[in-house]
Amino acid sequence: MANFGPKDIKKLREMTDAGMMDCKKALTEADGDMDKAVEWLRDQGMGAAAKKAGKVAAEGAIGIKVEGHKAVIVEINSQTDFVAQNDKFKALMDTVVNHAFENNLADAEAINNSTINGEPFADFLSQQIAIIGEKLVVRRAALIVGDETTAVNGYVHSNAQNGVIIEAKCDSAKTAEAMTPVLKEVAMHAAAMAPSTLSYKDFDPKFVEDETKGRIVAIETENEELRRLGKTEKNVPQYISMSQLTDEVMAAAEEALKAELAAEGKPEKIWDKILPGKLARFISDNTTLDQEQCLLDQKFVMDDSKTVFEYVQEKAKAAGGSAEIVHFVRLEVGEGIEVEEEDFAAEVAKQMA
């Protein structure tokens, strides 16, 4: 005779969120011992997780936590966007984000190798996979920990598909406090505009060289079509990044602009009033890569008369101090994951075999 009853099944189900028949089987296997039944279900959950290991988890969500001078961001992937929107997944996200925040876990490896609620994180996640019913992966994470002169903030888009955490070093705690809401605005900008790096100084020279060649070829090809249609051709850039605008390049550009002013008959005594604007235009025309991919060089979405760098400087000055954005992390769900397209009919046939 079984050493358990309906109340025990109900209790085990509430404890584990496993199915009723699974709970009954677990208690049968454990001869009514609740702890052994939980352990049996955990083992079965791990088995279920193993079956799902071959599935691609490319959907999911981004979660962040910002408090004081500290912020964490986590990406958890699932197999479907439907699962990423359910309450159980959201609860899992909250648990993992808080766990990473409280334990200063700096990346996904640290999270996956940690202990949570007294058990290995891998076992905890396997239980969640069994409960939620899909492969789940804590894929990426990042942590910012500053001091009282560090302004920290973040933003997650309403659909939880991308998020940003960001920090700025300030001259004082007072300035850091004033810059915290400003960084929320910059984080929102970064979420929308998807910069890949902070500054042109971060670019690899080979990347800039290859990108320059590619853009020139693309514009020349486009100009061939514009010529055929009798339309105005686009300017072919000499350069695309501030990293290419050396002192020699800028000196040559200035001499070329002076020659243009002379050819236009502009009096030399007014050149100093005209040249700064022309040089600024030269820089703008030849730094398109920076404007597209570097956070500090992008036009700020809330005031496109300024770059992000200029906006931050203006706000810091208004607060009576100085601030410099030194780091940001932007994560978007599924970035870089290759999802294999599978023939639906073939998949059905495979399941029926």
Domain chopping of the chain, boundaries: 1-35, 54-145, 200-332
Lowest mean pLDDT among 30-44, 164-178, 251-265: 30-44
pLDDT mean over 60-85 = 92
Q: Which tokens sit at 187?
A: 């984080």
Q: Which tokens sit at 163?
A: 């998020």
Q: How confident is the model at residue 18 (pLDDT cuts 50, 70, 90)?
A: low
Q: Which residue has the tokens 């005031």?
A: 303
pLDDT mean over 80-89 = 87
CATH number of the domain at 54-145, please?
3.30.479.20
Euclidean distance between CA atoms 18 and 37, whole angstroms: 11
Q: Which residue has the tokens 């199915």?
A: 19
Q: What percent of the chain has pLDDT over 70?
A: 89
pLDDT mean over 153-176 = 95
Residue 56 has pLDDT above 60, yes or no: yes
Euclidean distance between CA atoms 132 and 95, whole angstroms: 15
Residue 221 has pLDDT above 80, yes or no: yes
pLDDT, the chain, mean: 87
Euclidean distance between CA atoms 63 and 84, whole angstroms: 11
Q: How confident is the model at residue 47 (pLDDT cuts 50, 70, 90)?
A: very low
Euclidean distance between CA atoms 21 and 18, whole angstroms: 9
Q: Which residue has the tokens 């075999």?
A: 353
Q: How confident is the model at residue 133 (pLDDT cuts 50, 70, 90)?
A: confident
Give per-residue pLDDT as tens, 302-343.
998 999 999 999 999 999 999 999 999 999 998 887 665 545
Q: Which residue has the tokens 């509430």?
A: 14
pLDDT mean over 176-197 = 96
How is residue 306 annotated by DSSP?
E
Give per-residue pLDDT as tens, 271-285.
999 999 999 989 988
Q: How confident is the model at residue 36 (pLDDT cuts 50, 70, 90)?
A: confident
Q: Which tokens sit at 323?
A: 């601030």
Whole-number pLDDT of residue 194: 93
How is residue 106 annotated by DSSP?
-
H or E stretch covering 19: none
Q: Which residue has the higher pLDDT, 336 or 77?
A: 77
Q: What is the pTM of this model?
A: 0.76
